[in-house]
Amino acid sequence: MREITVPPVVTGAPVGGLADVVFQHAREEPDRVVLGRKTDGVWRDVTSGELAAEVLALAKGLLAQGVRFGDRVAVMSRTRYEFTLFDFALWAIGAQPVPVYPTSSTEQVHWILHDTACTACVVENEDQAMTVGSVIDRLPHLGRLWQLDAGAVDDLVAAGLSVAEDVVHRHRGAVTPDATATVIYTSGTTGPPKGCVLTHANFMYETDTLVARWESVFQGRQGDRPSTLLFLPLAHVFGRMVEVAAVRARVKLGHQPVLAAAELMPDLAAFRPTFVLGVPYVFEKVFAAARRKAEAEGRTGPFDRAVETAVRYAEARERKAFGSGPGPSATLRMEHQLFEKLVYGKVREAMGGRVRYAMSGGSAMSRRLGLFFDGAGITVFEGYGLTESCAAATANPPEATKYGTVGRPIPGSTVYIADDGEVWLHGGHIFSGYLGDPRATEAVLRGGWLATGDLGRLDEDGYLVITGRKKDILVTSNGKSVAPTALEERVRSHPLVAQCVLVGNDRPYIAALLTLDTEGIAHWLSMRGRPQMPAADLVSDPELTAEVRRAVVAANTLVSQAESIRTFRVLAEQFTEERGLLTPSLKLKRRAIEKAYAKEVAELYRT
C-alpha cells in the first residue's frame, strides 16, 4: 500500500481564533472546572468563568503595555499555568506567542527572538531574564521583558485596568482562521532551528479532529470528568496541541513543569488524570520503576509472569479487533484477573489510579511495552507527527489499536509513501511554511504535500510504520545501508541502558555508544549486595559489561549480520541537552555526539 486517506470527522470550516472558546465556555458553563492550578503545593480548581476573567485582564494589560495585533511575543518558560494564560491572552488580541525552551542557550534565544522580530518577551525567572538581557543589544525590536516569578501577571493586570473590555473583544473579532497563531521552532538536530508558522485553523483542525475521533479519551467514562496532567514542554508542538485540545474540549488541565519521576509521580497521584499524553520515556520509566519495586520485594517471578500475561491478553484482543482471532481464552482471562490486584492495579495507581488512556509520540514505543500497558488496563494510542504537521499526523484508532505502528492518518488527511520510502503528509493540519525561509519551505512543501524526511511503510491495514529518518541512515564502507532507530530502541529497552547511538558511516561495520541508566544501575548494584558507585567506575565492570552485551545480542536478532552491532562502548556520562547532545525534546544530536566522542568512536574500529 502506497497511499491512504481517512475521511474527515469534523464538518464545516472553522471561524474566528483560538481564544474564542475561552469566552464561549464562560458564557455557557461559567462554573465548570476547566483547569487545575497548583499553589503552594495544593491543587486548586479554576472554572471557565475564572479563566475567561484572567485571560481578559491579562489581555488588557498586554494592550496597555504596547502589544499590538500581529506582534510576536516570546514566552520562555517551563510548563506552568501562566504559560497557558499568556497563550490565550495573546491570541485574544491577535498577537502571536513564540515559545522558547527555558533551557535554550544564549545564541538560541537570540536566534529565535531576532528571527521572529519579537517585540516583547515573557521569562520565568531571573536566570532567563539575564539570558535575554545578555543579547538585548542585538534585538532592536524587543521593547518589553516580563518575569513571571517577579509578579509579571499582576503587574500587567494592574496596567490594564483602564483599558475597556470591548477593546480586547474587537481585537479578538478581527482574528481569522488563516491568521498566524504561533511560530514554533524545530529542534535543530541537523542545523539551525527553523520557525514553523502554524495558523489558528491548523490548531482548530488538529485538535477538533482528535477530540472527535478519540472521543472516549477526551470525554472520559460516564460520571468521571475527563482530566489530564500536562508535563510535556509547552515549547514543543505536542504539548501545545494538548493545551489547546484540553481547553477546546473542556478537559480539566493541570501543568507539571518537571518530567523527572520524583516530581511527576506525586503530582499524578494528587491530580489523578483520566488520561495522559507523553513520550515513550515516561512509560518506560513507569514500567522500570514497577519492575524494580517487584524485584526489591522478591516478587520478580510473579511480576514477569504478569507482564507475559498482559502481553498475551493484549495480543489476543488485538487479533480479535482485526478479525483474526476470538479474543482472550477463558484460561487467559482467569490468569489476567489474578494479576489485576497483584500488579496491574498498582501500575495504574502509580499514575493516579484513574488513567485508562494515554497518547504517546515523539519517538517510537516498543510493541511489547505498548501491549503490556494495554493488558494492564491503560490503552496507549501511539501516533506520529512533526512540528510542521501541528503535532499528530497519524494515530492508532480507538477500536483497533495495532502496537508497533503509529496508526492511520488522522481523519481528513492523507499519508503517501514516496518511491524512496519517504513519508508525505496532506491535510488541514499542515503548516504554511518556515518563517522568512522560502527556500526551506519549497524543499518540504510540494504541491500541498509535506515531505517529512522520515522513512516508513504502510501495512496491509493502512497503518504506518516508521522505519527511520533519511538523514540518519548509516552507510558502511561495504555499502550496506542501516536504519539505526529500531536497533537503538531495542538496546535502550534494557533497564541498565539509558541511551544508545549507532555509528558506522564509511566504517567497516556498525558499532554503538551506550550510556547507563542511573536508577537502573543503583537498583542493579543493590540487588547484588554491591556498594553504590558512580557510572564512571562501572564502564569497564565485567559483570555489567556482560549484562549490556546481552541487550546488544538481543537487539541483533532484529537484523541481518551485516546490519548488526559488532562492538560497543559504555560511556561514563549521559548525553544531555546541557552538553549540546540532545534537543530540548530529548532527540539525539547524532553529529554532535559522534564529534564529542570522536576518540571513543575511533577506538571501536582499531584492529
SS (H, E, C) 308-347: HHHHHHHHHHHHHHCCCCCCCCHHHHHHHHHHHHHHHHHH
Taking the CB of residue 402, how many other CB atoms lie within 10 A of it?
20
Q: What spatial distance separates the first Cα and last Cα of the chain, rounded to whole Å?
A: 45
- Mean pLDDT value of segment 279-291: 88
The span from the CA of 13 to the CA of 356, in Å, is: 32
SS3 159: helix
Span 311-366, pLDDT tens digits:
999 999 999 999 999 999 999 999 999 999 899 999 999 899 999 999 998 878 88
CATH level 3 topology of 275-469: Rossmann fold (3.40.50)
**Cell for 298?**
522478591
Q: What is the pLDDT of residue 188?
A: 62
Span 461-501, pLDDT tens digits:
999 999 888 888 898 888 888 889 889 988 998 999 999 99
The span from the CA of 103 to the CA of 582, in Å, is: 11
- Residue 418 burial by Cβ neighbours in a 10 Å radius (0-12, 13-18, 19+): middle
Q: What is the pLDDT of residue 259?
A: 77
Per-residue b/e over 322-336, b at no fewer than 16 CB within 10 Å? eeeeeebeeeeeebb
Phi and psi, residue 576, nearest 5°: -130, 160
User: Do 466 and 384 touch, CB atoms closer than 8 A?
Assistant: yes
Q: What is the pLDDT of residue 191?
A: 61
Q: Find, among 421, 336, 282, the residue nearest to 1 by Cα.
A: 421
| Longest distance between any two alpha carbons in the chain, whole Å | 77
Q: Characterize the bridge pairing of strands 195-199 and 180-185.
A: antiparallel
* Orientation angle between helical segments 518-527 and 280-296, nearest 10 degrees: 10
Reported for 542-549, long-range contacts at CB under 8 A and 24+ positions apart, including other chains, are 544/496, 544/570, 545/570, 547/494, 547/496, 548/494, 548/496, 548/497, 548/514
Q: Which residue has the cell 483547569?
A: 35
User: Do 362 and 282 touch, CB atoms closer than 8 A?
Assistant: no
- For the cut 80, the answer to whether the pLDDT of residue 189 exceeds it is no
- Torsional sign, CA 490, 491, 496, 501: negative
- Torsional sign, CA 333, 338, 343, 345: positive
Q: Find, among 277, 335, 339, 257, the residue nearest to 37 by Cα.
A: 257
Span 193-248, pLDDT tens digits:
899 999 999 999 999 999 999 998 998 776 679 999 999 999 999 999 999 999 99
- Mean pLDDT value of segment 82-106: 96
- Residue 367 burial by Cβ neighbours in a 10 Å radius (0-12, 13-18, 19+): middle
* In the chain, where the domains are located: 13-221+230-258, 275-469, 473-604
- For the cut 80, the answer to whether the pLDDT of residue 51 exceeds it is yes
* HEC-encoded secondary structure of 426-493: ECCCCCCEECCCHHHHHHHEECCEEEEEEEEEECCCCCEEEEEEHHHCEECCCCCEECCHHHHHHHHC
Q: What is the pLDDT of residue 260?
A: 77
Per-residue b/e over 577-588, b at no fewer than 16 CB within 10 Å? beeebbbbbbeb
- CATH architecture of residue range(s) 13-221+230-258: 3-Layer(aba) Sandwich (3.40)
Phi and psi, residue 183, nearest 5°: -120, 115
The span from the CA of 17 to the CA of 88, in Å, is: 10
Identical topology for domains 13-221+230-258 and 275-469? yes
Reported for 501-507, long-range contacts at CB under 8 A and 24+ positions apart, including other chains, are 501/575, 501/588, 501/590, 501/593, 501/594, 502/474, 502/565, 503/474, 503/594, 503/601, 503/604, 504/474, 504/476, 505/474, 505/475, 505/476, 506/475, 506/476, 506/477, 507/476, 507/477, 507/605
- Torsional sign, CA 115, 177, 247, 359: negative
User: Quick one: which H or E segment has residue 268?
Assistant: helix 261-271
Pick the CATH number of 473-604 from 3.40.50.300, 3.30.300.30, 3.40.50.1110, 3.40.50.620: 3.30.300.30
The span from the CA of 340 to the CA of 346, in Å, is: 8
pLDDT tier at 560 (50, 70, 90 boundaries)? confident
Q: Find, among 28, 156, 10, the residue nearest to 90 by Cα.
A: 156
DSSP at 531? P
To the nearest whole number, what is the mean pLDDT of the chain? 93
Give the distance from CA 252 to its chain's centroid.
Answer: 19
Q: Give the angle subtended at the CA of 533 by the CAs of 527 and 534, to the nearest 5°.
A: 125
Where residue 154 falls (left for φ over 0; alpha for ψ -120 to 50; beta otherwise) is: alpha
Span 355-401, pLDDT tens digits:
999 999 887 888 999 999 999 999 999 999 999 999 999 999 999 99
Q: What is the pLDDT of residue 23?
A: 98
pLDDT tier at 514 (50, 70, 90 boundaries)? very high
Amino acid identity, position 544: L
Q: What is the pLDDT of residue 8?
A: 96
User: Do 483 and 472 touch, CB atoms closer than 8 A?
Assistant: yes
- For the cut 60, the answer to whether the pLDDT of residue 187 exceeds it is yes
Question: What ranges make up the beta strands (E) of 107-210?
Answer: 120-123, 144-147, 180-185, 195-199
Where residue 174 falls (left for φ over 0; alpha for ψ -120 to 50; beta otherwise) is: alpha
SS3 595: helix
